[in-house]
Structure 1
Amino acid sequence: MPDTLSPEVAPDTAETNRSLRLGIAGPVGVGKSSLIATICRALADELQIGVITNDIYTDEDARFLRSAGVLDPERIRAVETGACPHTAIRDDVTANLFAVEELERDFAPLDLVLVESGGDNLTATFSPALIDAQLFVLDVAGGGDVARKGGPGIGRADLLIVNKTDLAPYVGVDVEQMVADATAAREGGPVLALARDDEKAIAELRSWLLELLATHRAGQHVPQDPGPMAPHFHADENGGYIHSHEGEHAH
């Protein structure tokens, strides 16, 4: 993987006018919705943006973003998945794909559609049938050791965000070490340490997104299939069970 914030490209493909669809995944509470608000603030003056949020039984994330005033509220829509978060972004993307396509029709032309996953674990990845590229988000409050544990979400996202770095002194996390561990887990893939008031980091994120959009428009960005999800645990009223996706990798 590359060691810069440059998206991978593949030459000699046709140009596209469709919006860039960017997935944002990560565990509960890492700041995915706040990251989307930051992206919108950084780019809304120059790009036409839409947002799709995912929650199991609520539209709370969509309401948060509407109240933040980062976009026209009609450009922020919620999908209530009614199932485990990864199901709606990886296994059966129908509801999300319909929501994205409807948003693109209603506000054509859109430059960027951000699709926020419901909070999930380190196995969460988006299907390339839904999105063109994906960010995975961790935060320092979750512990400095999380990054080095790896997993499909950490290892295969186009960009890994280590979020809420301003909280590091309060939770005893060495941000530089966490970023180094994350970079090693990603075999050199790009990692960005970020806080919502860190103007330098936000500028780096903005540049990465604009470069990704340019390669997408040129038809040079190839969505990376992250492969099947790893087995993971689902809690239920009977104590829970291990769920494996072996044999379901149809994309």
Structure 2
Amino acid sequence: MLPVEDIKIIITGTDFEGEQVSRYKAAGFLLLTIVPGSKALKIVGNAADALTVVVKLGSNNLVVDTVKTGLKIVTDNNIVKFLSNTGDEVARIVDGIMTFKYTGFGGNIVTNPNKTTTLLGRYADNTGNGTKAVLDSKLFKFGENKGGFNLLDESTWSNLNQNQRDLLNHNWLEQAFQRGDDIRLVSDQTNKFSNGILTQYGKELNWIETFINTYNYSYNSTTKTFIKN
């Protein structure tokens, strides 16, 4: 059993018993629930009984609390699917790679198991899509997230003025380029303005014009991704 507060520790032989580690390595995921009357977690075999799932994502582990995210977990052999409360598939993980179901610009969003995938776009663009879809799923982190998504969660700047927000946004994006992240756009580049005013996404696109030269990036128009050369 693993204490709840230790769940984010990378799973090794010291975290679980040998049989449990073997199961994790073979399947790529563990289904966990709370031990009654304690703060420890135990493995369950049925996805419907799981409150938490730990899934291999690249070289890291994605820990999903189904109560906090509102997601349902379904497993099919070594495929882990995340479903909305209406039963629609939100994302799936196969062999450590997540495919996020997305109908907006560029279609489905696929993680790079060896890099952080940083997502940029309007919160809600003119097609009704945008970063809101991933933000709502909570299947992301703020900052470096090798094998997973990096997204700027605007709740981190709710108390900042516009200049402070721009500085935070600029530094966050430049750090992504410095790491060599894949930079995936989820909104069309023409979505820079709203009612004639440059949006935060528009500012990011302007900054990128400098970053791609400074950090030696090129744009893949098929995947809608800026990739380090």
Range of TM-score over shorter length: under 0.3
TM-score by length of 2: 0.26
More strand per residue: 2
More helix per residue: 1
Q: Which has the larger radius of gyration?
A: 2
